[in-house]
Copies of this chain bind each other. A is one copy, B any other.
Amino acid sequence: MSDALFEILRKVTSATVTTMLLNKGIRRCWMNGPKPLVPRGERIVGRAFTLRFVPVREDVATTESWGNPVSTRAAIEEMPAGVVAVADAMGVSSAGIFGDILCARMKKRNVAALVTDGVVRDRAGVLTSALPVWCAGIAAPASVNGLTFVGWQQPIGCGGCAVFPDDVIVADDDGAVVIPRALVEFVAHQGAEHELYESWVFSEVENGVKLPGLYPPNDEAKARYAAWRKTKS
């Protein structure tokens, strides 16, 4: 997975990624839950660095636990630059997994983004940290109020999807999708081609062409597209 591949992926929408994966028989790749904290039109691509929470238990989920060897703080220090932190919060909406301070530290470490099916806390502070965040909302309480942190770089579930360490994440205004490692190259190249095709379809529609026969294309449309496509190579 070279930087060049990621550069290509950065021009492929999460919508197109899902269509490419559907062609490979994969329907469960879009995480239902994470949304951009503020939709800004940006697209983030990076390897997944996974974080895992289980439900709160009052004897272990305490403010003291923040100093444990297995803690969100320790996990952050293990994150390589450029990764997308993906946190399995089991969709819990009443405890913010991270706030301004942890997001600021992740940003400092050049983490590319935070993606979670849970929520974050201190909305204003998180925006100040400038870390791109995809989450399911905001809550005031800290993670220990509703969650127990148990580790990193394990397989997780997030928004109904299985995510394994080093899968690739693409996140934009339509949410976040996971690409299995083995399919990243396929998705990047086919996806880029598909984007080109859809841009042509969109312009055809703008010109008044109707959809049946155009999308999916009949032979005549295929020929017209092929001619147009040639002008782009």
Q: Is A150 an interface residue (CB 8 A)?
A: yes
One complex includes copies of this chain to the number of 6
The answer to whether B198 and A101 have CB atoms under 8 Å apart is yes
The answer to whether A96 and B140 have CB atoms under 8 Å apart is no
The answer to whether B26 and A144 have CB atoms under 8 Å apart is no
Q: Beyond A30-B94, A105-B210, is A162–B56 a contact (Cβ under 8 Å)?
A: yes
B29, B54, B150, B211: the one contacting A76 at CB < 8 Å is B211
Chain B contacts of A161 at CB under 8 A?
55, 57
Chain B contacts of A56 at CB under 8 A?
27-28, 162
The answer to whether A30 and B139 have CB atoms under 8 Å apart is yes
Least CB distance from A71 to B in Å reads: 8
A contacts with B, residue count (CB < 8 A): 91
Least CB distance from A65 to B in Å reads: 9
Instruction: List A20-78 residues whose CB lies under 8 Å from chain B.
Output: 22-30, 32, 35, 39, 41, 54-61, 63-64, 66-67, 71, 73-74, 76-77
Chain B contacts of A198 at CB under 8 A?
100-101
The answer to whether A108 and B208 have CB atoms under 8 Å apart is yes
B101, B144, B216: the one contacting A211 at CB < 8 Å is B101
The answer to whether A14 and B216 have CB atoms under 8 Å apart is no
Q: Is A8 an interface residue (CB 8 A)?
A: no
Chain A residues at the B interface, C-beta cutoff of 8 Å: 13-15, 17-19, 22-30, 32, 35, 39, 41, 54-61, 63-64, 66-67, 71, 73-74, 76-77, 88, 90, 93-94, 96, 99-102, 104-105, 108, 121-125, 137-142, 144-146, 148, 150-151, 154-157, 160-163, 173-175, 177, 180, 182-183, 198, 201-202, 205-206, 208, 210-212, 215-216
User: What are 30 inter-chain pairs, A to B, with CB distance below 8 A?
Assistant: A13-B122, A15-B99, A15-B140, A17-B140, A19-B141, A22-B63, A22-B142, A22-B145, A26-B58, A27-B145, A30-B139, A32-B139, A35-B137, A39-B123, A54-B88, A54-B156, A55-B157, A57-B161, A57-B180, A59-B180, A60-B180, A77-B211, A94-B160, A104-B206, A105-B210, A105-B211, A108-B206, A122-B174, A148-B155, A154-B154
